[in-house]
Structure 1
Amino acid sequence: MRLRDLITDVWSWLDYKPAMADPRRAGRRNEWAKLTGSWVPDEDLRRLAAYRMLAAYDSNQAGQLAAVTGDDETGLERRELGDASKLVDTALGYLLGSEQTISVAGAEHADDEPSPEAAAALAVQDRLREWAEKELLPLRGQQAERTAILLGDAVYSLAWDPGKQRVLLRTWDPGLYFPEWPEDGEHDGAEFPARVHLAWELPEDERRGLKARLRRITYELAPIAPASRRGTTKDGSPVREYLTAEDGGPALIAGDTLTPETGTITRTYQWAPNRPSAWTCFLTDAEWDLDDLKHSDVLYDLPMHKARYRVRSDGEVLDRLDLMVDFIPLVHLTNSIPASGEHWGKPTVATVLQALDELSATDTDSSGASATTGTPIIGLAGARLPIDRTTGQPLPVKVRAGTVWQLNDNGRMDVLDTSAQLAELRARVDHVLDRIAANSRLTAAGLGTLDPTALPSGYALQLALGPLDSLVAAMRLARNHKYVVLLRMVQRLHQAGQAEGWPAGESLLARLVWGPHTPTDRAAVLDEVVKGVGAGVLSVETGVRMLMDAGYPIEDAQEEIERIQARAFDAAARLADATGDNTAVRMYLGLPEADLEMPDARKTLPDEQGRGDHEA
């Protein structure tokens, strides 16, 4: 390899594989074209090669892949015991934590008499949680996050379903995701593309008479177009046709406005009532026969005159269908924080892939050594071996329990002892596992391979888990904004679909709150809260939040605070002494207002009244 051929990018960790180093190089393009087709852009081949290789490691097929690509002729004999899959599943468990909760900013202030803002935040929070339960967000999230940890990337899609009256959530393989960026390259990695494709091949179906096809779903942000409806071509294929108004101008969708001077159509979206927009998102879903595509027909520039458009369940033709939103309802997750100018994430196992190969090779050698240790090789000298009566040749000798050999006076038996080599190989396995734990930052304590007796205290365990804490923090940081965007899209799609109960106006800030990723010393947290609240350096609200984060069964923080205050008679007495306001004390204890019409306590007994009259 020359210096000019050295590639340094987000997938440089696979360059040690000769067949994977540069799929664009001459002689290898055709090799990958058999798997991806000629429609795949050259700049995406390296990414797709990395995805395929990582999937092979996850399914214990790395040896088979190495044998097929010519990297290792003995790859079929490689022993793979699921170490890569364990790393991915372990990282997934720490990333997700014990639970995930949707939280809307301001909803925590919704008390007995909440402000309009707090009440609206609480209503949106309840609706988002209800939507998440119906759409199985924890399950979908686990699917997407495992893909992101394994491959470095994952994709969510959102779509409004008129029948169910809610937004549908779906996860996609990142190998089907092809964003289209400006050719000038002047864009930041954190920006969103204006055109995105989801594309894959459909196999030939002889029973239905269908050829091998390419399906491409395209989302595109573009200026708002005139109103359109379903139409047909001369051969009866569905297509969209644009409508014309009575005055000969373009027909407009209800609510759109045409500026005659510029010819621009603007629209006011419910989430931006004071900001008219000239942009919308168009959806196109079409198929092409692979036989109709030439080698020069790349995914981004397919011949539209050969396309066959799909029809949605409600009869809408998916040919630049106006989705009535000003954003692309796709969210691309990255497992790590991309480098400057990059858009793709880095898998958790990327930096330790060679160590996994070393571990697999050591396991293979250990398997061979254990075979010779359990069934040793024996050398016989001066032994009388049984003879095959037909051929007259000695029969093969096998070691079995109870086998007896007759030896001559000078005969002997030598046994090859490979137990020492087996012990060395097992020690090497432990060494490689320690390197994998350290370099992946999952740590031996996180992987469960650390001896608990080796830690003198809980503080030592906390230090041992330090790299894992920083890894989880970085992974969550890379995802926090994406889930904010996803939940904002969910609100806006419900507004665009005019779903019942979703208010118009600006979208509220909603976040996905992760649970603790490591076990918490609940007793220590409780003691800290008691001392902090008792000393007045922590508020009751903060203390209750700390207890919830520690895993105490507190469902609603505000209700728990009210229960605590209803029994805090000492604090109420101090409040009365400090303010002298009985009304404030009763409000603090959650009691109703006192009746101000007090009865007259001055009463005269009948006998006393009579005695007084007699004396008078």
Structure 2
Amino acid sequence: MRVAARVREVVVDVWSWLNYKPVMTNLRRPGGALAELASTWVPDEDLRRLAAYKLMAAYDQNQAGQLAAATSGESEQADRRELGDPAKLIDTTLGYLLGTEQTIVVPDAEHADDDNPPQGAAAAADLQERLRRWAEKELLELRMQQAERAAVRYGDAVYALAWEPSKERVLLRTYDPGFFFPEWPEEGEQDGAEFPLRVHFAWDLPEDTRKGLKARVRRITYELGPIGAATKPGQSKDGMPRRDWIYGTDGEPVLIVGDRLDADTGTIRRTYPWAPNQPSGITCYLSDAEWLLEDLKGEHDVYNLPENKAAYRVRSDGEVLDKLDLMVDFLPVVHITNTIPDAGEHWGQPILAKVIQGVDEIAATDTDSSAASATTGSPILTVSGANLAVDRTTGQPQPLIATPGMVLSLREGGSMDVLDTSNQLAELRARTDHLIDRVATNSRITAAGLGTIDPTALPSGYALALSLGPLDALVGQLRLARAHKYAVLLRMVTRLHQAGRVWPAGKTLPARVVFGPHTPTDRAAILEEVVKAVGAGVMSLETGVRMLMDAGYPIEDVSEEIERIQARAFEQAARLADATGDNAAVRDYLGLPEADPETGPVPLVSARPGVSVQDGDR
């Protein structure tokens, strides 16, 4: 949205919180701080987003002053003091967002070992185990740290999935969101919140004179399109790698095994392993190519690079990446937003978005404090009546430099004064503390969340919980923005393994990533609550064990933990025997095998010697 304001045009969009920065104007200016954005292949509509990413990276690396100096030409900006406050905000938010752990959960998997498990519980448990093994091999926790830090810092992050035949598993990679160029559906065709039909990853490759390589741009494209006939690696007339159609003896294009031609519509249909009863006419194509920058003209951007100038790459197995059929009906790319986008928007906002000017104020105050501390540590002296040495060359008095232990000899009436700036330094430090509290409040991380509050200053744990209320709401919002995206990611992982024929075919079961608690929990209080509630019969044992697991107790599986508890619950087993009189039910409750029918009952021993149970002493 653009609003005319006299002679200026005010841009209101997802990055308008950076409008006060000079770097956000005239982004095409060559030789500027963002000169790389002047590349002809970068679309105009993506310039503000890429400029915002670079600014956020500069703040994270304590280089905002350098960027400002290069942009505005004000050399004093290069001396700006930056002491890591933006990085602390980013890392603190990341820690609260991810929590203590991340766990893949498939609903009903915990009931697979029950006596009467619900339908599909065994399949859920199998999928959960497969996904967890895959996550361990692909270092999912590490990848999430990489991607989520980018999301918190930039506002966006991107995952990409690819099937690796040699490893027989899906590879997970993260991309810098500055390389990500999606093509969203046109307005009126689909909801603006829908997934794109085509995405590009593009970046510049610098000139390498040693290898004789010119400056290039590389673009990786995933796009959905109608299923075509079979192709194979080939070459163009000039010897460049291309894909060629495969034709049969009758001259007609050959179909991929399993595809069939619909005679009524003339389209090719394919049955995917996750939808055996729903043939589809859509597949995903992968292209990976390079273009020389000198071949790109003004009308070319990342969305319409000339196909006749492309040099396609060849995969390790010999496949030419020129619209290679990936045999799936979705784009194996997941875009993560740090916040929930507004209606009609697709991009998120970083944690620094609303407090970026406060961070600038902290840096400015730190710079002033550094200057003030110089005059406080080495004060300015004014001396009158001192006997100063004279420079023999010029005949002028030499400057007086005060050193520790120095003794000045003053004439009668002489004096010395000291310029005391300690009060101003104290004020600046107090202002820094005030600004940090303001940033913590407005970012909703809170002073308690940043660790700048004195715990002893709080009257009770309830007061601490209230002070963390905004942080709880922030974490809930950040996790809500990601919940569906991680469910989609795990669905894609499952289907790619099904397409690779290494996981069972069938309907894809839902799976999700569960984040651990983001704040410390009172484990003793939760344990006491569970013991009382389960003992009083107002809470099931399953719920109690799950509460303990969420509180951080080392419980790996709810059903296994319940079996261990029941195997030692002899008092409850005795009550079950009294209530039912069923010895088989008691043995099953204790996890014991069925009794041998030839084994007689165990004789009971009376509490008083010499008197048996048969005598009626019960």
- For 1:611, the equivalent position in structure 2 comes to none
Alignment of 1:50-449 (within 5 A): 50-70=52-72, 72-111=74-113, 117-184=120-187, 186-449=189-452
- For 1:5, the equivalent position in structure 2 comes to 9
- For 2:42, the equivalent position in structure 1 comes to 40
Which amino acid is 2:68 matched to?
Answer: A
Give the 3-state SS of the residue equivalent to 2:126 in structure 1: helix
| Superposed displacement of residue 406, structure 1 | 1.8
1:545-594 deviations in whole A, cap 9, x for unaligned?
00011111112211111111122222222222332322222211212222
Is 1:514 matched with 2:512?
Answer: no
| Paired residues of 1:18 and 1:71 also in contact (CA < 8 A) | no
Which amino acid is 1:564 matched to?
Answer: I
Which amino acid is 1:465 matched to?
Answer: L
| Superposed displacement of residue 183, structure 1 | 3.8
With structure 1 as the length reference, what TM-score do the two structures score?
A: 0.94
Give the 3-state SS of the residue equivalent to 2:22 in structure 1: coil
Give the 3-state SS of the residue equivalent to 1:64 in structure 2: helix
Which amino acid is 2:144 matched to?
Answer: G
Distance 1:526 1:368 in 2: 54
Distance 2:205 2:537 in 1: 66
- For 1:523, the equivalent position in structure 2 comes to 524
Which amino acid is 1:217 matched to?
Answer: I
1:268-310 deviations in whole A, cap 9, x for unaligned?
0001101000000000101000001111111111111011000
- For 1:552, the equivalent position in structure 2 comes to 553
Distance 1:600 1:67 in 2: 91
Is 1:489 matched with 2:492?
Answer: yes
Which amino acid is 2:260 matched to?
Answer: T
1:23-65 deviations in whole A, cap 9, x for unaligned?
47xx689874544511111000000010000000000000111
| Paired residues of 1:336 and 1:345 also in contact (CA < 8 A) | yes
Which amino acid is 2:597 matched to?
Answer: L
| Paired residues of 1:23 and 1:29 also in contact (CA < 8 A) | no
Which amino acid is 1:556 matched to?
Answer: D
- For 2:582, the equivalent position in structure 1 comes to 581
Which amino acid is 2:561 matched to?
Answer: E
1:195-219 deviations in whole A, cap 9, x for unaligned?
0000000000001000000000000
| Paired residues of 2:291 and 2:311 also in contact (CA < 8 A) | yes
Which amino acid is 1:388 matched to?
Answer: D
Which amino acid is 1:577 matched to?
Answer: D
Q: 1:479 to 1:221 in 2, by over 3 A?
A: same
Q: Which stretches in structure 1 are left out of the alignment for 5+ residues?
A: 602-616
| Paired residues of 1:188 and 1:340 also in contact (CA < 8 A) | no
Alignment of 1:459-470 (within 5 A): 459-470=462-473
Which amino acid is 1:51 matched to?
Answer: Y
Distance 1:371 1:492 in 2: 64
Distance 1:158 1:384 in 2: 80
Which amino acid is 2:405 matched to?
Answer: G
Is 1:567 matched with 2:571?
Answer: no
| Paired residues of 1:17 and 1:71 also in contact (CA < 8 A) | no
Q: 1:564 to 1:599 in 2, by over 3 A?
A: closer
Task: Compare 474-483 and 178-187 and name the one that shifted more.
Answer: 178-187
| Paired residues of 2:33 and 2:71 also in contact (CA < 8 A) | no
| Paired residues of 2:150 and 2:156 also in contact (CA < 8 A) | yes
Distance 1:56 1:600 in 2: 79
- For 1:538, the equivalent position in structure 2 comes to 539
Give the 3-state SS of the residue equivalent to 1:506 in structure 2: coil
| Superposed displacement of residue 19, structure 1 | 2.8
| Paired residues of 2:339 and 2:348 also in contact (CA < 8 A) | yes
| Superposed displacement of residue 115, structure 1 | 6.4
| Paired residues of 1:352 and 1:436 also in contact (CA < 8 A) | yes
- For 2:18, the equivalent position in structure 1 comes to 14
With structure 2 as the length reference, what TM-score do the two structures score?
A: 0.94
Task: Compare 485-494 and 115-124 and name the one that shifted more.
Answer: 115-124
Distance 2:482 2:153 in 1: 15
Give the 3-state SS of the residue equivalent to 1:300 in structure 2: coil
Distance 2:99 2:537 in 1: 31
| Superposed displacement of residue 420, structure 1 | 0.5
Which amino acid is 2:592 matched to?
Answer: L
| Paired residues of 1:283 and 1:318 also in contact (CA < 8 A) | yes
Q: 1:31 to 1:357 in 2, by over 3 A?
A: closer
Q: 1:599 to 1:312 in 2, by over 3 A?
A: closer
Distance 2:522 2:186 in 1: 53
Equivalences, count: 598
Distance 2:431 2:315 in 1: 58
| Superposed displacement of residue 475, structure 1 | 0.5
Q: 1:383 to 1:220 in 2, by over 3 A?
A: same
Q: 1:487 to 1:222 in 2, by over 3 A?
A: same
Task: Compare 584-593 and 309-318 and name the one that shifted more.
Answer: 584-593
Which amino acid is 1:62 matched to?
Answer: A
Task: Compare 276-285 and 504-513 and name the one that shifted more.
Answer: 504-513
Distance 1:419 1:33 in 2: 44
Task: Compare 267-276 and 186-195 and name the one that shifted more.
Answer: 186-195
1:55-104 deviations in whole A, cap 9, x for unaligned?
00000000111111117542111000000000000001111111111111
Give the 3-state SS of the residue equivalent to 1:364 in structure 2: helix
Distance 1:271 1:224 in 2: 17
